[in-house]
Amino acid sequence: MSSAPKDLNVAVALKYDGKGAPKVTATGKGLTAAKILEIAEEHNIPLQSNPELAQILAQVPLGDDIPQELYAAVAEVIAFAYYLSDKSNKNTKSS
């Protein structure tokens, strides 16, 4: 999942496999942020804008688990992504 606020122009990609904590897999500003978003959109990865959370997550080293203090905030983002993915799957199945 990615978060890219327009005012701060930061994008963060997370990976969560259902085991352990989500990991930061990409971060970027400016053109790098735009590329992260482009790749996410190409792969139908749900996007959510949360400028404050993106700024904090962008400070986490790549490959590291998110800090425990951010579990609740990131859980909301993951739940949102699962919700969107489920809706997308249901729309695809009915076609």
Instruction: Quickly tell me which residue has 């993106």 as its tokens.
Output: 54
Question: Would you state the pLDDT for residue 5?
Answer: 40
Give the position of tokens 């790098």. Answer: 32
> pTM score, two decimals?
0.76
**Region at 81 (left for phi over 0; alpha for psi -120 to 50; beta for the rest):** alpha
Question: What are φ and ψ of residue 52, in 5° steps?
Answer: -65, -45
Is a pLDDT exceeding 90 seen at residue 4?
no
Give the model confidence (pLDDT) of 45-95 as tens digits. Answer: 888 888 899 999 999 999 999 999 999 999 998 998 888 877 656 655 544
- Specify the higher pLDDT residue, 44 or 5: 44
- What is the homologous superfamily of the domain 2-93 according to CATH? secretion proteins EscU (3.40.1690.10)
Model pLDDT, residue 89: 62
What one-character DSSP code corresponds to residue 47? B
Each domain of the chain, given as residue ranges in start order, spans 2-93
In angstroms, rounded to a whole number, what is the distance separating the alpha carbons of residues 94 and 73?
Answer: 32
